[in-house]
Chains A and B, each alone.
Chain A
């Protein structure tokens, strides 16, 4: 069962739960004040939105919530954690992923379909994925900033780099590969009606876990 975490200001939890179902799994909710993940949790999604109104820094306040200690224990035990958009920001602020997400170089909200390059196929999330994925981005603070020589950059925007990320990074994993954060929204690419089903693979990985 995949736990979908909610903070005050999370927006994309329903879409993420639907994506889990589209990938053949079952989703359940986890609340930011919970000190444990729901019984039977096998994988975790931190969905997008604007937790705590993006106050201070995106993801900063959410990253200090009680549920994050439970997510850290889950990750330390090898469990899969997928952070999408604000979820990526939360994981970086929590120190579960390297680097930080900064305001886009455009200083604007960017919403468009992107072709992502799968740079690293050796994580539980990206095993067996095609080399490119059509998945949309929609964010204001999505420029990853970190050390590309030590971080495990799993997904990239290629030569386009629409947000101004270091090394054109779109998604970054921890060294073990069981925690992945990405700014693009795979939950918005799980149905032909949405123009792409390329996001399903990441959710199938969660369901397999």
Chain B
């Protein structure tokens, strides 16, 4: 069994209203100097079988991320 961590983030240049809302809230709590916040998603996959990274990559392309608005990365977790 291999654990693969998929990270999905809003693409650069795509408006992230949730990140902006969090940024505003942090400012209201008194945290100065927060110049940007972006919200994404972490997906942990437990995979059996060969080549889990390639499999996770295909999963991202077919379901886990929408390439129009999201970038993704896949990584093996130790």
From known contacts A100-B69, A145-B69, infer whether A56 and B18 are also in contact, taking CB-CB under 8 Å.
no
A176 within 8 A of B: no
Q: Please, which residues of chain B bring their CB within 8 A of the CB of A105?
A: 15, 17
Q: A105-B17, A145-B14, A146-B68 are in contact. List 15 more A-B contacts (CB 8 A).
A: A56-B63, A60-B63, A60-B66, A61-B63, A64-B63, A99-B68, A100-B66, A100-B69, A102-B69, A105-B15, A107-B17, A107-B18, A145-B68, A164-B15, A164-B17
Q: Please, which residues of chain B bring their CB within 8 A of the CB of A164?
A: 15, 17
B21 within 8 A of A: yes
A10 within 8 A of B: no
Q: Please, which residues of chain A bring their CB within 8 A of the CB of B21?
A: 107
User: What's the nearest-Cβ distance from chain B to residue A43, in Å?
Assistant: 27
User: What's the nearest-Cβ distance from chain B to residue A161, in Å?
Assistant: 13
A104 within 8 A of B: yes
Docked complex Cα distance between A57 and B66 (Å): 9
- Size category of the binding interface on chain A: 10 to 19
Secondary structure of the B contact surface, majority rule: helix
User: What's the nearest-Cβ distance from chain A to residue B78, in Å?
Assistant: 26
Docked complex Cα distance between A99 and B69 (Å): 9
User: What's the nearest-Cβ distance from chain B to residue A127, in Å?
Assistant: 30
* Most A C-beta atoms less than 10 A away, residue of B20, B21, B66: B66
| 0/1 interface trace, chain A 116-137, chain B, CB 8 Å (1 if under) | 0000000000000000000000
User: What's the nearest-Cβ distance from chain A to residue B59, in Å?
Assistant: 11
A188 within 8 A of B: no
